[in-house]
Structure 1
């Protein structure tokens, strides 16, 4: 990237945040801090009102605006790919908002870029094995959750826990959101449990943003939460099961809730591949299916099932 293009990109970066650290600019463009200082000084000498706070970073003086940003062909293609991914990997609220944003982006593209996107659009597909839409859990709260995160506002929600199959009312202080293993999770301090909890967003029945603010500094960061609590999820288990065709049909939507990745016919049976972070939780579900399921792997799950079966046998042996 030549210096003129880099100066333009730095100016756009400054407009995108309230404060931008010199280290952020250096990392983005793979340049030294000394080069960052020279580039910022060049912008100031060109009449751009770039302010600086010692030890904090750079900012654009309030009231200064750049002319509308134009996208090149590669950037427009990347945004189109993002739109395809959002359609499959987000919820109702964010899909609608991203669609509105893409309409505005298309409106400012040059004719050649618009033609390019139209020809490219039908040649990009994102496939997600998400369960069918469930009207009981509308899955449209991501935008509200993002608003509460940005404003540090408490949320009230009705949440259905899969492991206990119970619906509870919660008041929570959100600290972040994570997309993991095909689902969005809301990470928050739960006032009911007095502990940090993660809530799968497609299990939220109702949600409301309150006017009650909380002190964000009292909580750990999302990064700290992931390092402390979510480490096991970084190493999920791939589980392969074989069901009779009749049982596979009886499972219905259950298979999606337990992390279904793939299923295929195998003679008179159906083989399914799941991704799970908790073999104990997954094994207890398999136990409810009885003899109608065969574990293909991993061996660790087979051993765990032997342990669960033994515990049940011993519990009822003398009763």
Structure 2
């Protein structure tokens, strides 16, 4: 990136946040802090009113009006892809808000970039299979985001799938996670007096209370994630699989912690990292005699126990 393009990108970055640190700019553009200071000074000399707060960072004066941001065709295409995915990873409330934002973005695009979006619009689809789950009106994503920003306590009715029970909870939200195709609220639960993971599609009702809480969100969230990583031991698994079966599980293997593979004649040696050997063993059973467990021994023992149970269930009848 030449310096002119970098100065424009830094200006856009400054517009995107209330305060931006010099280190953040240096990290994004892979430049030294000394270069950041020179670039900021160049923008100031160009008439951009950039303020600085000691120990915090740089900001653009609110009274300064900047021209509309222009997008490249690549950036416009990326926005289109995001718009296609959002309806399948959120709810109707978030989808509606994004589409409104997208109209505003399109309004400042150059005509050729608008043409790019129009041509791609009908050619890009997201297909979740023949049994696609209908999009919910709301999974409370907007309410939870507001509660995070304003440090508000949430009151929710939660359905626990494992126990098939409803419970009322007061929680202090610290973060949102998207994994296993679902959004999860990470929050301090006052009932359990500990951090808990609440899957959003299992929240039956949610209200944002007027009560606030005092908890440093980024620190609490990082501590929770670190604790989860330590708590759940992951096992290294090595399998020897027939090539035909390896092709059959080409997609599903990623759900089980796939790390890599090497070919060995008519077989493929695959390595995995997985915290749930019981669930992993049940998946292996689907492959019948097309797979051999190289390691660990505990997984081989689990498979033997499962096969013995199947034998006793069906051969004794």
How does the TM-score come out when normalised to structure 2?
A: 0.73
Supply the distance in 1 between the matched residues of 2:19 and 2:103 (Cα, whole angstroms).
Answer: 29
Offset from partner CA, 1:110-149 (integer Å, 9 cap, x none)? 22111111111223233346862387xx543111111111
Instruction: Report deviation, 1:273.
Output: 8.1
| Per-residue CA distance 1:266-296 (angstroms, 9 max, x = gap) | xxxxxx989477648859xx8xxxxxxx654
Superposition deviation, residue 193 in structure 1 = 0.6
Structure 1 equivalent of residue 199 of structure 2: 200
SS in 1 for 2:66: coil
> Which residue in 1 is equivalent to 2:30?
30
* Structure 2: stretches of 5+ with no match in the other structure: 238-247, 257-273, 310-317
Task: Please state whether the residue corresponding to 1:31 is helix, strand or coil.
Answer: coil
* In structure 2, distance between residues paired with 1:133 and 1:236: 36
Q: Which residue number corresponds to residue 164 of structure 2?
A: 165
The alpha-carbon distance between structure 1 residues 307 and 53, as it changes in their structure 2 partners (threshold 3 A), is farther
Separation of aligned partners in 2, 1:5 and 1:181 = 39
Q: Which runs of 5+ in 1 are unaligned?
A: 239-263, 265-271, 287-293, 312-319
Alpha-carbon spacing, 1:35–1:146, altered in 2? closer, same or farther (3 Å): same
Q: 1:147 to 1:27 in 2, by over 3 A?
A: same
Partners in 1 of 2:139 and 2:199 — Cα distance? Answer: 12
Change in Cα spacing, 1:62 to 1:108, as seen in structure 2 (3 Å) is closer
Distance 1:46 1:127, change over 3 A: same
Report the CA distance between 1:19 and its aligned residue: 1.3
Distance in 1, Cα, partners of 2:233 & 2:82: 24
Q: 1:34 to 1:273 in 2, by over 3 A?
A: closer
CA contact (8 A) 1:149 1:175 kept: yes
From the superposition, tell whether residues 42 and 87 of structure 1 become closer, same or farther in structure 2 (CA, over 3 Å): same
Over the residues paired in the alignment, what is the CA RMSD in angstroms?
A: 3.5
Whole-angstrom CA distance in 1 between matches of 2:233 and 2:182: 14
Indicate the SS of the match to 1:216.
coil
3-state SS in 1 of match to 2:169: strand
Residue aligned with 1:167, SS: strand
For residues 143-292 of structure 1, the aligned pairs below 5 Å read 143-217=142-216, 220-230=219-229, 275=255, 279=276
Q: 1:48 to 1:62 in 2, by over 3 A?
A: same
Tell me whether 172-181 or 112-121 shows the greater mean CA deviation.
112-121
Provide the aligned length of Structure 1 versus Structure 2. Answer: 270
Query: Following the alignment from structure 1 to structure 2, what is the Cα–Cα distance between the partners of residues 4 and 274?
Result: 42
Closer/same/farther in 2, CA of residues 35 and 278 from structure 1, 3 Å limit: closer
Q: Secondary structure at the match of 2:216?
A: helix
What's the counterpart of residue 120 of structure 1?
Answer: 120
Cα–Cα, structure 1 residues 56 and 101, in superposed 2: closer, same or farther, change >3 Å?
same
Does the residue aligned with 2:19 lie in a helix, a strand or coil? coil
Please report how far the alpha carbon of residue 54 of structure 1 lies from its aligned counterpart in structure 2 after TM superposition: 2.3
The worse-fitting range, judged by mean Cα deviation, of 104-113 and 14-23 is: 104-113
Identify the range of structure 1 (175-184 vs 215-224) with the bigger mean alpha-carbon deviation: 215-224
CA contact (8 A) 2:155 2:169 kept: yes
SS in 2 for 1:229: helix
Alignment CA distance shift 1:34-1:5 (3 Å): same
